[in-house]
């Protein structure tokens, strides 16, 4: 039997607004442990893109076009969208 901790899944991450600038990317693929949470994905992203560290506490998170909390469990192929607050008008 495989230990589930070591099974990795691939998800898609979409960056909006200031996160696009901080990462230099609109969309990336990310490997996370199966059943990893949104929060796990965010922690992994901070390691890859340290510039987003100051923003992640405040971003709204959505999976497959629906807002979810940080404890939401991700599945393979999910699209995680990170929407930071924007004030311009």
Partner 1 sequence: MDHAPNVRHVTQLNSDQVNRYRRHLLLPEVGMEGQKKLLNAKVLCIGAGGLGCPIALYLAAAGVGTIGLVDIDVVSPSNLQRQILFDTNTIGEPKVKAAARRLKALNPDVSVVEHETVINSTNVLDLVARYDIIIDGTDNFPTRYCVNDACVILKKPNIYGSIFRFEGMVTVFAPHLKNPDTGDQGPCYRCLYPEPPDPGSVPSCAEGGVVGVLPGIIGTLQANEVIKLILGIGKPLIGRLVTFNALDMEFRTFKVRHDKTCPVDGDNPTITEPVDYEQFCGVPILDPKSVAETKAEVKRTLHGAASKGPNLDSRGLPPDYQFDEDWEITPRELKRKLDNKDKIVFLDCRLQHEVAITKIDGSTLIPLQQLGPRIGELRGKEKEEVIIYCRSGGRSLQFAQVLKQQGFQNVKSMAGGVLLWNQDINPGGPQY
**Which of 12, 30, 72, 84: binder of partner 1 (CB under 8 A)?**
84
Query: Count residues contacting partner 1 (CB under 8 A)?
Result: 22
**Which of 54, 70, 75, 77: binder of partner 1 (CB under 8 A)?**
54
CA distances from 87 to 18, 56, 61 (A): 11, 16, 17
d(C-alpha 81, C-alpha 3), whole Å: 29
Q: Is residue 87 a contact residue for partner 1 (CB under 8 A)? A: yes
Q: Is residue 28 a contact residue for partner 1 (CB under 8 A)? A: no
Q: Which candidate, 27, 29, 24, places its Cα nearest to that of 11?
A: 29
Q: Is residue 57 a contact residue for partner 1 (CB under 8 A)? A: yes
Residue 50 sits at φ, ψ, to 5 deg, of -55, -25
Q: Minimal distance in Å, beta carbon 81 to partner 1?
A: 7
Can you give the binding site for partner 1, defined by CB under 8 A?
A: 16-18, 20, 26, 54-55, 57-58, 60, 62, 65-67, 81, 83-89
């Amino acid at each position: 039997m495989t230990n589930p901790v070591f099974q990795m899944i691939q998800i898609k991450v979409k960056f909006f607004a200031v996160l696009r600038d901080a990462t230099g990317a609109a969309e990336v693929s990310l490997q996370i442990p199966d059943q990893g949470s949104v929060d796990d994905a965010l922690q992994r992203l901070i390691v890859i893109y340290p510039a987003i560290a100051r923003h992640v506490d405040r971003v709204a998170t959505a999976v497959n076009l629906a807002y979810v909390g940080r404890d939401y469990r991700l599945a393979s192929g999910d699209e995680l969208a990170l929407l930071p607050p924007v004030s311009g008008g």
